[in-house]
Structure 1
Amino acid sequence: MPTFDEVLKEAGEFGRFQKRVFFLLCQTGITFSSLFASVVFLGQAPDNYWCRIPGAAELSKRCGWTLEEEQNFTVLPLRLGNGSSSGECERLDVVWDTSISCTSLFSHYGNRSAGNLPLTTCYDNWVYKQPHSSIVSEYNLVCGSAWMLDLSQATLNLGFLVGAFTLCYAADRYGRILIYLLSCLGVGICGIIVAFAPNFTVFLIFRFLQGVFGKGTWMTCYVIVTEIVGSDQRFVGIVIQIFFTLGILILPGIAYLVPTWQGIQLAISLPNFLFLLYYWVVPESPRWLLTRKKGEKALKIMHNIAKHNGKYLSPHYSEVLSS
C-alpha cells in the first residue's frame, strides 16, 4: 500500500499550494517572537520620576507650579541635603497643607533646613514625566516593587510552558487548524485585556493566558507547515525560524513609532485576529486526518493540493486515502 508521502509526491511535495500556506503561517512567527521579546519595551525603565510629598499636588496647583518646578522644590533639596537622596525611592517625611507658603516651603519647620528633615521610604504616589510610556510607570514597578517586572516575564514564560503541554495535546486530539485558530483568537483577546488592565494582577493573569495561547499558535503553525509538505522538504521547519527572528528585528521599529506601552501591546496582539481569515485558505493537516480515520476529508484536501499544484492525483491513490 502506498504511503502518504508517495501520495503527496503525486500531488506535489512543495508546490504552489504549500508555498502559499507556508508564507501565510510564517507570519505567526513574527507576532509570537514580538510577544516573547515585548517586555524589553513594555517594561522600559522611566527616565525621570520622583516620589511626591503628601499634599504636594494641591500645593503645586495652588502655587501654579509646572511639574519641573514641583520637582525642583521637592527633590532638589534632597539632593543638596545631608541625606543626598535622589528622590526616587525616598521623600521628605513631611506633609504639605494649606499653611505652607509657596515662596518659603520649609519656614513652617522652624530653623531646620531641608537637609536636616527626616526621610521616609516611598511606597506610592510617584510622579513620572511620561506616565504611560511603560508598565513600570503604569503600575509603579519601581524601587521596592522593581522585581515585579521580572515576574511579568516569568508569568509569560510559564504560560508558554503550560501551552506547550495543554494545546499540544489538544492539537493532536481536536485538529491542528482548529487549535491554531482558537489560539489566535485567544492571543488577540488576551492582548487587548492586557493593554487595558486596570491593575497589575489583571495584567499578570491575562499575560499568562496570552503566553498559553501564543505558544499554541507557534506550535500548531509549525506542525501544519511540516506535515503538509513531503519528507524531503522538511527544511521548511528551519526556514520558518527566520520569521521568528524577523519579528524581533521589527519590534524595535514598532516601539520607536508607538510612544505608549498600550500601543505596542496592541500592535503585537491585534494581527492575530487577521490570522482567523486563514480558516478559508489553510486546510487541516491531511496527515492528522488520516490518523483520525477521516480519509474522505484527507482525500478532498489532497485533490485540492494537486489541483493548485497543477498535478493529477490518480484514482488508485484516491482509493488508498478513502479506505
Structure 2
Amino acid sequence: MTTFDNILEEAGPFGRCQKRIFALLCLVSLPFAGVYVGIVFQGFTPDHWCRVPAVVDRRQTCGWTPGEGQRWTAPLVNISGELKPSSCERYDLDWNTTDLTCDPEDLDLDLTGVKDGWEYDYEGRNSFVTEFDLVCSDGWLVDMFQSTLNVGFLIGSFAFGYLADRFGRRLSFLVSNVINVTSGMVVALAPNYISILVFRGVFGFAVKGGWMTCYVLMTEVVGKEYRRTVGILFQMLFSVGNLILPLLAYFITDWRWMQVTFAAPYILFVSYYWLVPESPRWLLSQNKASTALQITEALAKENRQKLPQTQKHTFIFMFNWSDSVSMTTRFHLGVASDPRGLKAASCLLRFTSAVVYQGLIMRVGIAGGNVYLDFFISGLVEFPAAFLILFTIERIGRRLPFATANIIAGVSCLITAFIPESEETLRFRRSYGRVYLFKSEKK
C-alpha cells in the first residue's frame, strides 16, 4: 500500500523546502533554552548579609568596603565545617547610640534576625532574588519560579498535544506564540512575585506546547530517513542556546530585561503561520486530501520536483492513513501501538532525565566560581553527546545505547562527589536526547 512516505520520496524527502522549514523551526529552540534554564542567572543568589542602615552610613564615612561593613554586621557561623559570615543573623547592636570608631574591636554580642532587609554583593546587577529579598526563610520561593514553569510544561504538553491534533500544527503553534509574547512580557513587568509566578506558569504552558508542536511539524514534513537527523539537530539548537545564554546574562544586568530577551523572539515566530505550511500528514488524517495535495505539490515545486499523476490519485483514493500518521501524533491521541508498560517506562525515563539534567544545570548557579564560564562549559559538553547519538543510534540501535546511558547516569549520581559535574551533564544530555528520538521514531 502506498503511504505518504512514498509520495514524499517523489516530492523530495529533504529538499530546499524542507531545509527552509527546518532552518526556521530550529530557531525556536534558541529562546527555549533561556526559558528553561535562565533561572541560573535570573534567580542568582549572591553573597548577602543583614542590612543595618547605620553601618551603611558609617561605611561611607569610614571608607569601608562592603566586606568590611559585613564584618561588623554579620557574625561568623559554622557552615559545613567552615567559618563564614552569617547571611540571616546580625549583631544585636544599636549603632546609632554606640560610640564606635572606624576601627572597632572584634564584637562579641548577642545575635538577632534581620530587621532592615539585606545587602548583596552584586553591585550593578539585579536578580529577582535581590529585588524581592528571596533569601533565608524566603529562599524556598526561588524554587517556585522553576516549579511553576514545570507545571506549565506539564499542562502545556497535554493541552497542545490535543490542540495540534484537533486544529492543526500551524494554528496551534500560532496560538502558543501569541501566548508566549503576552505572558513573557507580563512576567518582565509584573509588580510582585505572586503575579510573576502565575504568568511564569502560563509562559511555560505555551512555550513547551509550541516547542513540541514545532518538533512534530518538522519531523512530519521530511522523509523517513531524515527524521532522526533533524530531530537531533533540532535539540542541538537548544545546546546552542545554552552557549548564548551566559553571554546575554553577562551583558544584560537586570533579570527583567533578560526576560524580555527570552520573550521577544516569539514575536518573530508569529510570522511562521504564513511562512511554514501545514503538515500534509495531519491534513490527510483529517480527510483534507485536496489541501494536502496542494501543499505537497508546492513542496515538490520548491524542491524542483514534480509529482507523477499516479501519486496525485493516491492522495484521493489510495492513501492509507494508519501508516502515515507520525508516532508523535498517535502518542498524543492515546492510540499508539506501544504496550502500556513501554509507554509508562518511556515517560518515567523522560521525566527522570529532565529533572536530573535540570538539577545539574541549576547547580552551576550555586557551586561557586565563575557562573558564566561554568555555564558555558556545561553547554559546550552537550555537543559531543549529540554527535555520539548521531553516530551510534543507527549502528547499534536504540535500546542498548539508551540503557547504557541511563546506567552510566545512575552510577554517576552515586559517585557524584568524585567526578566532574560537566561529565554528569554529558551523561544525562545523551539520555535526554534519546528519549525524544526513541519515542518519535519507534514503529
- Select which of 306, 311, 323 maps to 1:312: 306
d(CA) in 1 for partners of 2:61, 2:193? 29
Count how many residue pairs are aligned between Structure 1 and Structure 2: 308
Q: Give the 3-state SS of the residue equivalent to 2:112 in structure 1.
A: strand
The match for 2:49 is: 50
**Once the two structures are superposed, what CA deviation does each residue of 1:293-315 show, in whole Å capped at 9, x if it has no partner?**
11121111111101100011223
**Once the two structures are superposed, what CA deviation does each residue of 1:226-285 show, in whole Å capped at 9, x if it has no partner?**
100122221212221211111111111111221221222221221111111112210111
Q: Give the 3-state SS of the residue equivalent to 1:50 in structure 2.
A: strand
Paired residues of 1:78 and 1:114 also in contact (CA < 8 A):
no
Structure with the greater alpha carbon radius of gyration? 1
Q: Give the 3-state SS of the residue equivalent to 1:284 in structure 2.
A: coil
The match for 1:209 is: 202
- Select which of 219, 226, 236 maps to 1:233: 226
- Select which of 286, 293, 312 maps to 1:292: 286
Q: Answer yes or no: is 1:148 the counterpart of 2:141.
A: yes
Q: Answer yes or no: is 1:104 the counterpart of 2:99.
A: yes
d(CA) in 2 for partners of 1:218, 1:282? 15
Q: Answer yes or no: is 1:31 the counterpart of 2:25.
A: no
d(CA) in 1 for partners of 2:218, 2:119? 49
* RMSD (CA atoms): 3.0
- Select which of 120, 123, 128 maps to 1:130: 123
Q: Give the 3-state SS of the residue equivalent to 2:23 in structure 1.
A: helix
Which amino acid is 1:286 matched to?
P
Q: Give the 3-state SS of the residue equivalent to 2:72 in structure 1.
A: helix
Q: Give the 3-state SS of the residue equivalent to 2:148 in structure 1.
A: helix
Shift of 1:165: 1.1
The match for 1:258 is: 252
Which amino acid is 2:114 matched to?
C
The match for 1:76 is: 71
Higher relative contact order (CA 8 A, sep 6+): 1
CA distance change for structure 1 residues 123 and 271 in 2, over 3 Å: closer, same or farther?
farther
d(CA) in 1 for partners of 2:90, 2:205? 41
CA distance change for structure 1 residues 172 and 80 in 2, over 3 Å: closer, same or farther?
closer
d(CA) in 2 for partners of 1:226, 1:82? 56
Q: Give the 3-state SS of the residue equivalent to 1:127 in structure 2.
A: strand
- The alignment-based identity, stated in percent, is 42
d(CA) in 2 for partners of 1:66, 1:313? 83
Shift of 1:71: 5.8
CA distance change for structure 1 residues 241 and 75 in 2, over 3 Å: closer, same or farther?
closer
Paired residues of 2:50 and 2:74 also in contact (CA < 8 A):
no
Shift of 1:132: 4.9
Shift of 1:34: 2.1
The match for 1:183 is: 176
Shift of 1:322: 4.2
Paired residues of 1:171 and 1:220 also in contact (CA < 8 A):
yes
Q: Give the 3-state SS of the residue equivalent to 2:85 in structure 1.
A: coil
Shift of 1:219: 0.4
The match for 1:88 is: 87
CA distance change for structure 1 residues 292 and 124 in 2, over 3 Å: closer, same or farther?
farther
Shift of 1:170: 1.1
CA distance change for structure 1 residues 124 and 160 in 2, over 3 Å: closer, same or farther?
farther
d(CA) in 2 for partners of 1:299, 1:251? 41
Paired residues of 1:82 and 1:115 also in contact (CA < 8 A):
no
The match for 1:17 is: 17
CA distance change for structure 1 residues 66 and 232 in 2, over 3 Å: closer, same or farther?
farther
Paired residues of 1:22 and 1:225 also in contact (CA < 8 A):
yes
TM-score (norm 1): 0.84
Unaligned runs of 5+ in 1: 107-112
CA distance change for structure 1 residues 168 and 66 in 2, over 3 Å: closer, same or farther?
farther
The match for 1:109 is: none
